[in-house]
Every structure is written in structure tokens, then in C-alpha cells.
Amino acid sequence: MYDLLVKGGVVIDPSQNLSEKRDIAVTQGRISAVEKDISEDQAKARIDASGLIVTPGLIDLHVHVYPGVSHFGVDADIHALAQGVTTVLDAGSSGADTFEGFRRYVIDVSATRIFALLNISSLGMISPRVGELEDIRYADVERAIEVIENKRDVIQGVKVRLSKR
């Protein structure tokens, strides 16, 4: 018995070279079957996906999801999950001095899976009026390395944004 049956959608999964109508069965939060026709009586619950596209969660490789701190920040769960994006890469909203708050108040509490690039500026992107590297003293390489080493589970690299100044 499956927990959920997603029936009749067009399944697009490039990893399986698949783009056709299929049913998907889910058991304990994991896909347990992908077949052309799974009987409805084999599932506790059913979603009719007729006329819809069913795909693995999408990944957005450039977002800013530190609302209230980064001037570009949006709520990941509202803006990503609602569009089928299950994983995002924040492109440098936080720096070494603001990362702990980003981790505690955004990454650790979001349903969206969030990875990050650490801004080389220790401040991160906190103002649209003052560039994060307008003062080169903000580029604290040693502190950035320290934070990256301690947060390798979510930090994937370094963000350096250059501007005319």
C-alpha cells in the first residue's frame, strides 16, 4: 500500500530521460514507483495530476533569501517552493559577520533546502546604497575562510561582486 499516488501527470525527469504520462507512488516521503498505470486502490491518498507537469524539485542557482538583512532578500519558502524549486543557492547575501544569523533564522528553519555562497565582504549585502566592497576593509579573507571551514555543510563557495567603484 502506497501513502500517496500522483496520477496522470506528464512526468519530466531528465535523469531518467523521461517525458511522458506516468503515475508516481510515494511511500514514507520517497518515490517508490513510477509506472504507466498504478491502480488507485493501492494508495491511501491520491492527487489527480491530469494536464499537469510532474518533475523532481528544481534548483535555483542564484537567489538572495535573507529578507530583512539583504536588500534583495526574499522568503525562500514563499518564492521558491511555490514555483517547484526545492533547493536554492544564496549568492552572497551574508558575509562572515552576518552568516550566523542567516543560518539560524533562515537556513535552519526553511522548508526549502538552502546552500550559500559566503560574501567576501564580512557584512554581506546589507544596503543598496553602499556596496559591500566599497571599503576594501570589509573584505576579511581570514574571517571568511574561518566561517567557510566551520560551515562546509551549507557554504559552497565565495561571492565577490565588483562594481564601478
Is the same domain home to 25 and 88?
no
Distance CA 83, CA 76 (A): 10
Structure confidence by residue, pLDDT tens digits, 69-80: 998 999 999 999
Q: How confident is the model at residue 164 (pLDDT cuts 50, 70, 90)?
A: low
Is the same domain home to 78 and 25?
no
Asked if 99 contacts 127 with a C-beta cutoff of 8 angstroms, the reply is no
- Flag whether 85 is in a domain: yes
Question: Does the pLDDT value for residue 165 go beyond 90?
Answer: no
- Flag whether 164 is in a domain: no
Is the same domain home to 13 and 84?
no
Distance CA 95, CA 124 (A): 4
Is the same domain home to 90 and 151?
yes
pLDDT of residue 107: 98
The CATH number given to whatever domain includes residue 119 is 3.20.20.140
pLDDT of residue 161: 83
Is the same domain home to 9 and 69?
no
Which positions ≥6 away from 150 have C-beta within 8 Å?
A: none
Is the same domain home to 17 and 78?
no
Global pTM reads: 0.82
Is the same domain home to 95 and 50?
no
Is the same domain home to 128 and 90?
yes
Q: Number of folded domains in the chain?
A: 2
Strand partners, 134: none
Distance CA 79, CA 68 (A): 15
Domain of residue 42 covers 2-54
Is the same domain home to 117 and 86?
yes
Is the same domain home to 152 and 129?
yes
Asked if 37 contacts 6 with a C-beta cutoff of 8 angstroms, the reply is no
Is the same domain home to 49 and 121?
no
Is the same domain home to 86 and 36?
no
